[in-house]
Structure formats: C-alpha cells, structure tokens
Amino acid sequence: MNERHELDLSDIQGNVVRGYPRYGFPKARYVFYRINDAAAGRAFLQRVFPLVTSAAMRSIAGATGAKARPSATTDVAFSYAGLQALGLPEASLRQFPEEFAVGMKARAAILGDDGPSAPVNWDPIWQDAEPVHLMIAINGANDDAIAGRYDQISTFVAQSAGGVQLRKGHRAAGRDDMPYQEGSALYEDGEATPKEHFGYVDGISNPYFEGCGAHDSAVIGGGKLVRKGFGSELAWAPLETGEFLLGHKDEAQEIAPAPKPALLSTNGTFMAYRKLHQNVSAFRDYLEAAGRDYPGGQEALAAKFAGRWRNGAPAAKFPTQAEADALTEQWHQAKLDVERSTTPEARHAAAERLSKLNVEMVDFHYNDDLGGTRCPIGSHTRRANPRAALEHGQTMAFETPSALSNRRRILRRGLPYGDSSTPGSDDHGIIFMALGASLERQFEFVQQQWLNYGNDFRLANEKDPLLGNHGVDAKGAPNGRMVVPAGEGARDVPYFCSKLPRFVETRGGEYFFVPSLTALRMIGAGSVDPT
Amino acid sequence: MPNLNGNAYGLTTLAPILNRDPNERSYATMLKELLDALPTGEHSPMAAVPETYLCRFFVLDNVVYQGLDIVKALPLPVPASHDRLKSAYLAFTANFHGPDLDQYLWGMWDAADSTIRQIWKYCVGFEQVHDAASFAKYLRRCQVETTFYFNGSTDESLAEQLKGLYLKQELAKFAFDNQGKNAEELQAAFFDFVRRTQPEELDGPSWRAGATSLERAVIGEASPEALRAATPGTPSGLRPTAKEPVQQNVGSAAVTQ
Amino acid sequence: MSNIAGKAYAMNLVTPLQRWQTPVNRAAFWAVGTPLLAFSLRGLLTLSMIHYARWVFLRARDFPRLSDQQPEESLHYDYMLFLSNFNGSWAQYVDSFSVAIPSGLNLLWFMNVGWPKSVPQTRFHEYVTHNQVWSNHYYSAYPLAASNDVKAGSKVRKRLVDFVRQMRRGSAEHFAQNYGRMLRDLQGELSMMDVTPAVSTAAQAIADRSETKGPAHA
C-alpha cells in the first residue's frame, strides 16, 4: 500500500520545490504575455495546462513511468493585473496581499531600486506603464528542447487571435525588443557550472521544509536551528511548509490567511522575478585594486564579501584559502571517483564521500564566529541567512535559536544571463527569483532590512557589499563601505573597505503568484468562486 | 523607583482635557490639530528641552471596546464591558536623563513655555500654571506611575549620547579615509581629527538634537580655516600639555593590515 | 500625525484587564525584573530594537482628576498602557515578539481582556492594531540613530577618549600599533549611520510630499 506523501507534489508547480538547473536543466527562457481578452486568455491557459510541470517532475502531457523526465519544463505565474485580466472575482482579488497587488515597480522605495536601479533604467518591458499579466518559464536541457516548447506555446498564442499577446522589450545583444529573456548556466570547458558572473559558486543552500521531498541530509544547512536540550548545542530541523506554500502551517504556528477560495491559494506561492545586472568589470577592478592592500589578496577579500570563497566553501568553517581549496579538491576528487567507479561498492563509497562533502558546504552556523572574524557579519550570505546569529550568542534568548531567521527564508531560483567573458561586454547578470508565502515578510524584508541596511546586525546603515544599493558622494564617486573584522591573529586589525561601487543593478521585474495545478486549472476554466 | 532605570526617567502624564458643549468643536479635536501641526525633528519644541531622549504626545479619546472576552471558567465567551472615559486625556510621555523630575520640568518650561501654554491650555486646571514651579507642580499632579521601565539603550546624559553618536560617525569616517596610510601620515591625520572633533569636550562639536539628515547633524565644529590657524603639532588637541618629552621609537614592528 | 521619528517608532497600546487581575499582573512585572526571571528579559535585550519601553497600570482612580468639575472616571476594567520606542517596522517589531519571545510576552499580557496569545501571529497582529493609539507628535533627539547606534556611540566615545589621553606622546609607530588595537576593539561599532530605510510606502510618500514643499535640493 503506498503511503500518502505529506505534500501532494503533483499539485505543486515544479519550480517551487525543485531548482531546475540541478536536475539537468541548465537553460531557460522566461516569456511574458498580456491578456487582451479574458475568454481567450482562459482558453490559452487550458491549452498550456497539460504542459505544466509538477514538483513530481511530471506533466500531464509527458511520458509516464519511473524514469520519465521531461525534456523541457513549463511553469506558469500571474501578476495581480493578470489575475484581474483573466476575470478572477473581485472578492478573491481583494484578498491578495498589498505588495503583490501594487506590483514590484511600486515597491521601489522599499526595495532600494533607486539611482541606477530605478525603474527608469529598466528594460522596456518592465518600464512600461502596462504591467505584464502572465509569465511562462521554460527550462530545458538544451536550446533545442526550449525552442521546441516555446514554439508549441507560440502556436497557442497564435490561436488566440490577439486575445493573448506576447510582450517584447527585453534587452540583450544590443537590442531592446527581445521577445523573451534567456537564462543559462555558465559553462567551463563545455560543462555547465553552478557559477555566476562574479565567479562565485551559487545556489549552494536552499531552505528545506516539511514535505519538500529533498534528500533527508538537505535539512542540514537548509532547515532551521533548534536547541538540543537546555545547552547551547544546536541541531537542524525542517522548516514548516507554510513558509513556502500557502494553505499549510507556518512558523508562526498557524495557517496564514490566504485568498479564498482555499483551492485558489493552497499549494500556491508568491514569487519575485528580478533581472539583476552585474557590473562585472567594476567588480574585477575593485577586487584587483583593493586586493593589493588586503592581506590574503583578492580571493580572501572576495570571500569576505560573500561569506563563501568563490569556490563555494563557507568562510565560517574554512577561514583560509588553503582550507577552502582543499575542500573543493576533495569534492572534485569524490565526484570523479563516483563517475569512474567500476564496482557498485566503490561507487557507493564514493557517493557517500561526496555526500559528506556536500554537507560540509552547508553544515555550519555562526555561533563560533559571533565577532565575524572568519565570516564577516556583513557578508552577503550571512546577511541573507543569518542562521542563529541574531541570538548574538545569548543562549535561550529566544524561543528557538534561529527564531528571527525562520520567517525570512527564501527559495531561490533562476539562472545567469548574458556573457561576461569578453572584455567590454556589459550585458550580463542574473535572473533572480525568490519564492515564499509572503513577499513582504520574506523577500522584501531581506532586501530592505538585511541587504540594504544593517541595524539587525548592529551594523548601522552599512549595506551588503555585493548586492547593496551603494550610493555616491556629493562628487558622484562611489561611497559604499564595509568594515571587514580583524582576522584571528593577535596582530590583525580590521580592514576598512570604502568606495565600493554598486555592483548589482536592477533592470526590471515583477511580483507573481504561482498557483497550484488545481488552481491553474480553475483559473483556466474560469471557475474560481469564493462563495 | 519604578519610574527610573538607572538615570533614565520614564515620565508618564495624563492631563484631563476640558469637556465642552457637544455642539462646539471639542478641545480634544482642536488639540489633535495643534499637535499634528507642531514642527518636527530639530524644529520640534521638545528639541530645545534639555536631556530629552524621546518623547511623544497623543490624545487618549477613549478606551477600546474589546468585543468578546474569553473567560476560561465559562464555556462561552462573554461580551466585554463597554467602558467609556468621561474625559479625554492628553498623554505626554517622555524618556529623559534624570534622575530629577523637577529639574527636567523646569528646564522644559524655560525652553518651551509658549508651546506648553498653547498645548495644555485645553486641560483641566492649567489656568493655575504661570511659571516653571507651577508647571512642574501641575505635571506632577498629572503623573501616573510607571510600573515597569525597560531601558534598552543607555542612561547617559543626552550630551554624552549625542557626542557618542558624533564620534562614532566621525571616527568611522576617519578609519575609512585613512585605511592603508603609513604611521606618520596616520598620526598626523589623527591629531587633526582630534583637534576638529574634540572627543573630550561634551560642549564641543557634536550632533544636533533632533537632526533628521546627515547634512544637518553636525554642530559646533570650528571652520577649516580656524582649525588651520590653531597651534599645529600638539598631540592632545586644542589644549597643549606642558613640555612633554617626545618618546623615541622603541623599535616596535609596524602594525599589520 | 506620525508614529515615526527617523529610525524610531512610537507604539502606544492601551488594553483592559480584569480588575482583580491587576495585582497579579503587577506581581508578574515585579518578578520579571528580578534575577530569577531575567531570562524573560534576555530576549528583549538581545533583540536590541528598543530604546525605552514602559508599562503603566491605570485603575479608574489613577486617571488624574484635577478639579471637582471634572467627572470622576468609573470603569469596569483596569488598563495597561504600553509605550515603546523601537527601531524597525511595526511588523518586524510585533513579529519579533511573536516568534522570538512569546513566553516572556505572555507572562506580561496574559491577563488582558481579549488577549489572544502572541502565537499564532495573525490574531496577535489584529490585537495590537485594534488597541494601538496613534501619536500626534513624536520627537527623537537622534532620528538618525537606532538603539544599537546609541550604544555603539557610547563605547566609541569612551574608548576614543582613553586612546586620546594615552597617545599624548609617542612615536608614530607606537601610535599606529595602538590605533590598530583601538580599531580592533571598536570594529563592531564603526559602521556609519544614515537615514532609516523607507518604513512603508505610505510613510515614504508622506515624507516625499513634505520634502517637495520645502526648498529644492541643490
């Protein structure tokens, strides 16, 4: 008798629970539409629906059987304007949260999208006074798979006779009217890597929640921290599902109010889609110049900025470059061993070693490094996920050690875009997606209070060195700052890093609702009724 | 003393607002309008009142009806009683560096008596107030005791707090601007810094009470010209010490970055 | 009318409690202040979001009566006044009470009429909003400073004054070494301050409106 899984993964869209690149989909195309006619829009959705991938990595149209895996995945999301355009009842619409209803552009003051990140600098599609309505994300193993799915969907658009319209206006390759936004993993020697344009290995850590279906070991680093007994020893536990999916119990010990009817919102979630331009040459130049003075040089400074070495090793656990390199060497060796194993026993042993090393990358917290000696308090990864650090070492100050972090976790999705390998190229960055049950409480909060501000870390107004919206002084020169705490040596002193330019600039985006498959079907059928 | 936490004083006062013929505009309403119109930030009348950390005014019109009350002993909720206040109250609550309340209230009258009159004139019994002493007496009559006062900050004098903020900002800026300088440059720059910021002088350069922008925050710094004209090369700032011999380099290694 | 003064937010909560419960509640406060229950305050202190906060109990007869013409208050309940000056948004503050220190909070509020407990969150949010009184004028002596900044400033001032006194004489090398040591001692205190992040789009819009009324920026 099959046991019933905690979560009905077949009802949840794939990109919510799975980070596609890890599953062999290193390419993506993000396409946006306008609904000109509600009935045509619904008919379009009904045609797309069988292609939509669930978290069970299946689609209705796809092959069945244990080994079946789609060649391309399809995920569908709606802006508030899009839900309106599709004829969702007013009574349901009213219950959607405010920040989602006004859209991301209207939240610029909260998000720090000012100066070069201001909407006036966004891609035309995002600057447009008319918001986009519908997003379809296609992920694939290669360009052909993506093109195939895209063509299929374009046929449905054509069949709508103008009722559904493709929105153009993405900037790429010198044009500003591209019909879609492309994303792709960065390749080295023909292999897809998990790196982003600044050279860091990205996406190492993601939240682990009840029912997410990931391997058990992913709770380490991905879950929340709890106390073992009354001492200061900590252990990992899964986060509540409701932090990431509507209609489930969350960390506040309730099922949070969500738009009615329940079938509309349960198993759905919200997403912030952001195109983030990366100033790669400014970053390289800065590291080179500052790296001359900084002890340990460029790589060490890069590690201080991110809280991880560029090869991914966490600075909190691997404070020196030698230790960080040793870890990645072991990891690569273990990976090779798995691939080259000739016997099942050998492969199993190698896989175990690899698994342990993966855990090393995420199994840490900051309670042994409260002063930020190894991993600066203001470094990017520590800001984005402080783990138990906000207890500031005061055992039992809070109900649970990571209480102040548990409701601020984000599921991160997305891929890099563009090419930064040729000098002078300027069109590259990351398509960043943040998913969670509450945009305001999770994504917006982290962005505003933890990346662009520092008070929770007792860092006054200091910003995230990599992602912060650093400003300029009266003469227009960059004036971002970071105090890098002194190292562990007796004679080490802090390093005062100044004149940081804004390395990351927003080029557009929007807030979306990612419905369950049930809700998607109902929206397409026009049968959503809160009565 | 529950109103005190160290030297920090939590003053809570409720002054009853005069009731009026209901056909007339109520004094509570007029008071709200008056309070809403008070200038804010460094221009707030309270910015001039010595030792004021944070304070607020609000009009307590009434207490709020709670609807149902869950009383554990009973199986069903019971309706809450509908309490009504017979007067509205002007709440003035302040956090200041004490410990002496009278000293604070006298200082408040000296700094802001015209505003005080404008505000409290709508309150019962205020006609008896005509000077600092009677004002202090009046507010003491309006005072309610703080049961528990939590201090999450310091209980230093306001001048110490403001000086601390000023020095934090200036020393940070100095550290950033002088990163990587050699020892001689650093020492010379630091002496200039001390002359400009006068760390020991609470009456010297500091932050302006109530300033809402960095451009308006600093007060009391001498102009760059005046600083240049001041006696150069004195290690202890603008107060030269008498005839101290300069200690020779004892060969300690340079600081590592 | 504003609850905001730069980085500080003024919360005024007025909540009723059953009259017979007042002495019990008072005792709870007294207990919280003792070393025995210091742990319940540890959360508040670690949060470090608060400048100053107070609880005040008001019985009907505690409402000041300053003349015979002023009617005497007669109330079914007693009232608790909670006044806080904190940093960060309303949501952040209320949430931190809900997830970080709920048991400490319950201890102080559980006698209040209609108190839903601070966990789960939605009803707690509603309870606070329902009973919150807006400030008509709120003043902070340092709108650019959070409570953390004030505390950091105190450390900096004391250490810097010591340093200045010690470094009255000496070689540049000696100075540089000790300067480095001072910076190391103060490294957690030397981040720079500026204005608060936008507290909400509503508050930001109001702030922008009042700015445009004034003289134009250079």
Closest-CA residue in chain A for B178? Answer: A496
Cβ-Cβ contacts under 8 Å, A496 against chain C:
183, 190
Contact A84, A143 (CB under 8 A): no
Token code pair at residue A355:
């698994």
Burial profile A326-342: b = 16 or more Cβ within 10 angstroms, e = fewer: ebbeebeebeebbeeee
Q: Which of A277-291, A317-331, C83-97 has the lowest mean pLDDT?
A: C83-97
| Rounded CA separation A20/A14 (Å) | 8
Report pLDDT digits (tens) over B104-139: 999 999 999 999 999 999 999 999 999 999 999 999
**Mean pLDDT computed over every residue of chain B:** 87
Q: How many CB pairs under 8 A join B and C?
A: 331
Kindly state the DSSP code that residue A198 receives in the 8-state scheme: T
Question: In chain B, what residues touch A493 (CB-CB under 8 Å)?
Answer: 255-257
Name the token pair of A497.
């890093």
**pLDDT band at residue B238 using 50, 70 and 90 as cut-offs:** very low
Instruction: Tell me the C-alpha distance between A295 and A286, whole Å.
Output: 15
Nearest CB to B167; choose among C5, C150, C157: C157
- Residue C150 in contact with partner chain A when CB distance is under 8 A: no
CB contact under 8 A, B179 and A496: yes
Residue of chain C whose alpha carbon sits nearest to that of A108: C201
DSSP bridge partners of A269: A514
- Look up residue A497 and give its amino acid: C
8-state DSSP, B17 = B
Residue C18: is its pLDDT beyond 70?
Answer: yes
Q: Which residue among C45, C183, C192 places its CB closest to the CB of A494? A: C183
H-assigned helices in chain B? 27-37, 101-120, 132-142, 158-177, 183-197, 214-217, 224-229
Exposure string (b/e) for C106-119, b if CB count within 10 Å is 16 or more?
bbbbebbbbbbbbb
Minimum distance, in Å, between the CA of residue C115 and any CA atom of chain B: 9
Q: Supply the DSSP symbol for B123.
A: B
Among A295, A481, A483, the residue with its CB nearest the CB of B257 is A295
pLDDT of C216 over the 70 cut: no
When the pLDDT of each residue in chain A is averaged and rounded to a whole number, the result is 93
Residues making up chain B, counted from first to last: 257
Residue A249, classified by CB atoms within 10 Å of its CB into exposed (0-12), middle (13-18) or buried (19+), is: middle
Cα of A324 to nearest chain C Cα, Å: 25
CA dist B61 and C61 (Å) reads 17
Q: CA-nearest residue of chain A to C218?
A: A474
Is the pLDDT confidence value at B249 over 70? no
Residue B67 neighbours by CB distance under 10 Å: 12
Q: Is A185 helix (H, G, I), strand (E, B) or coil?
A: coil
The CA distances from residue A224 to A38, A228, A350, A385, in Å, are 43, 13, 28, 10
CA distance A350 to A341: 8
For chain A, percent of residues with pLDDT exceeding 90: 81
What residues of chain A lie within 8 A of the CB of B254, using their CB?
none
For the cut 70, the answer to whether the pLDDT of residue B71 exceeds it is no
Three-state DSSP at A188 gives: strand
pLDDT of A450 over the 50 cut: yes
CB contact set of C44 (below 8 Å; sequence gap of 6+): B150, B152, C50, C53, C101, C104
Helix (H, G, I), strand (E, B) or coil at A344: helix
Q: Does A481 touch chain B (CB under 8 A)?
A: yes
Angstrom distance (rounded) from CA B107 to CA B51:
9
Tallying the residues shown for chain C, one arrives at 218
Please give the interface size between A and C, counted as residue pairs whose CB atoms are below 8 Å apart.
129
Q: Which of A98, A227, A383, A399 to mutate to test the interface with C (most CBs of C within 10 A)?
A: A399
Q: How many CB pairs under 8 A join A and B?
A: 26
Task: Report the C-alpha gap between A411 and A431 in whole angstroms.
Answer: 14
pLDDT confidence tier of residue A2, bands split at 50, 70 and 90: low
| A506 or A228, higher pLDDT | A506
Give the distance from residue A405's alpha carbon to the nearest chain C alpha carbon, in angstroms. 10
pLDDT confidence band for A124 (50 / 70 / 90): very high
Which of the residue ranges B95-109, C57-71, C118-132 would you say has the lowest mean pLDDT? C118-132
Q: Where residue B257 falls among pLDDT bands split at 50, 70, 90?
A: very low
- Enumerate neighbours of B (3 or more CB pairs within 8 A): A, C
Contact B177 A497 (CB under 8 A): no
The beta strand positions in A20-79, using DSSP E, are: 27-35, 72-78
Kind plus residue range of the DSSP H or E element containing A509: strand A504-514
The per-residue pLDDT for C104 is: 64
Residue recorded with tokens 């008071």: B31
Dist CA A63 CA B164 (whole Å): 69
| Residue B243 pLDDT grade (very low, low, confident, very high; cuts 50, 70, 90) | very low
- Residue A166: predicted pLDDT: 98
Alpha helices in C34-101 (DSSP H): 38-47, 90-99
Q: Band the pLDDT of B83: cuts 50, 70, 90.
A: confident
What pLDDT score was predicted for residue C106? Answer: 67
Which chain C positions have a beta carbon within 8 Å of B256's beta carbon?
Answer: 180
Q: Which residue has the higher pLDDT, A44 or A203?
A: A44
Give percent above pLDDT 70 in chain A: 97
The Cα of C113 is separated from the nearest Cα of chain A by a number of Å equal to 22
pLDDT, tens digit, 9 for 90 and up, residues B38-64? 999 999 999 999 999 999 999 999 988
Q: What band does C202 get if pLDDT is binned at 50, 70 and 90?
A: confident
Are the beta carbons of B256 and A492 separated by less than 8 Å?
yes
Count Cα atoms within 13 angstroms, Cβ side, for C121: 22
Evaluate whether A156 touches A48 at the Cβ level (below 8 Å). yes
Cβ–Cβ of A455/C146 closer than 8 Å?
A: yes
First to last CA, chain B: 50
Give, to the nearest 10 degrees, the angle between helix B158-177 and helix C147-166: 70
Give pLDDT, residue C123: 80
Residue A525: phi and psi, rounded to 5, are -85, -10
**Min Cα separation A497/chain B (Å):** 7
Of the candidates A470, A457, A477, the residue with the CA atom closest to the CA atom of residue A502: A470
Residue-level pLDDT at C95: 81
Per-residue pLDDT, averaged over A190-210, amounts to: 94
Q: Does residue C26 belong to the interface with chain B, where contact is any CB pair within 8 Å? A: yes
Inter-chain CB proximity C172 and B15 less than 8 Å: no
Instruction: Supply C83's token pair.
Output: 């006044």
Q: Are C11 and C148 in contact (CB under 8 A)?
A: no
Instruction: Give the residue-averaged pLDDT of A302-311.
Output: 97
Q: Which of residues 10-69 of C touch A (CB under 8 A)?
A: 39, 42-43, 45-46, 48
pLDDT (0 to 100) of residue B76: 67
CA-based nearest residue in chain B for residue C113? B69
Lowest mean pLDDT among A100-104, A122-126, C88-92: C88-92
Name the residue type at position B136: A
Chain C residues closer than 8 Å to A460 by CB: 146, 148-149, 152, 191-194
A165 Cα to chain B: minimum distance (Å): 47
Cβ under 8 Å to A: C residues 108-137: 119-122
Q: What percent of chain B has pLDDT over 70?
A: 84
Those residues with Cβ within 8 angstroms of residue A175's Cβ, 6 or more apart along the chain or in another chain: none
What is the predicted pLDDT for the residue at C34? 66
Q: What is the mean pLDDT of residues B25-39?
A: 96
Q: Could you tell me if C114 and C18 are in contact, meaning their C-beta atoms sit under 8 angstroms apart? A: no
Asked if A32 and A170 touch (Cβ cutoff 8 Å), the reply is no
C149 within 8 A of B165, measured Cβ to Cβ: yes
* Minimum CA–CA partner of A372 in chain C: C188
Contacts of B177 in chain A (CB under 8 A): 498
> Which pLDDT does position C111 carry in this prediction?
67
Residue A20 confidence (pLDDT): 75
Closest approach of chain A CAs to the CA of B175, in angstroms?
7
Q: In this complex, do A485 and C46 lie within 8 Å of one another by their Cβ atoms?
A: no
Say if CB A126 and CB A275 are below 8 A apart. yes
Q: Give the other-Cβ count within 10 Å of B170's Cβ.
A: 21
For B59, the token pair is: 């009009």
Which chain A residues touch B179 with a CB distance below 8 Å?
A: 293, 495-498
| Per-residue pLDDT at C40 exceeds 90 | no
Nearest CB to A110 within list C7, C184, C198: C198
**Taking residues A236-247, what's their average pLDDT?**
97
Q: In A363-448, which residue ranges form alpha helices assigned H by DSSP?
A: 380-384, 403-406, 445
Is the CB of C217 inside 8 Å of chain A's CB atoms?
no
pLDDT of the residue at B125: 96
Mean pLDDT to the nearest integer, A183-193: 93
Q: Nearest-CA neighbor of C87 among C60, C49, C117, C116?
A: C49
pLDDT band at C93 (very low <50, low <70, confident <90, very high): confident
Residue B236, pLDDT score: 43
Q: How confident is the model at residue B239 (pLDDT cuts 50, 70, 90)?
A: very low
* Better-scored residue on pLDDT, B32 or B83: B32
**d(Cα C191, Cα A461) in Å, to the nearest integer?**
7
Q: Which pLDDT does position A458 carry in this prediction?
A: 96
Specify whether the backbone of A150 is left (phi greater than 0), alpha (psi in -120 to 50) or beta.
alpha
pLDDT band at B98 (very low <50, low <70, confident <90, very high): very high
How much is the pLDDT for B72?
54
CA distance B117 to chain C (A): 16
Please tell me the distance from the alpha carbon of residue A408 to that of residue A398, in angstroms, as a whole number: 16
Q: If you average pLDDT over residues C168-197, what whole number do you get?
A: 93
Give the closest of C10, C63, C183 to B89, CB-based: C63
pLDDT exceeds cutoff 60 at C183: yes
Which residues are CB-neighbours of B133 under 8 A, at least 6 positions away? B106
Q: What is the pLDDT of residues A456-502, one digit of tens each?
A: 999 999 999 999 999 999 999 999 999 999 988 888 999 999 999 99
Cα gap A202→A193, rounded to integer Å = 9
What's the pLDDT at C124?
80
Q: How far is CA B244 from the centre of its chain?
A: 40
Q: What is the pLDDT of residue A185?
A: 95
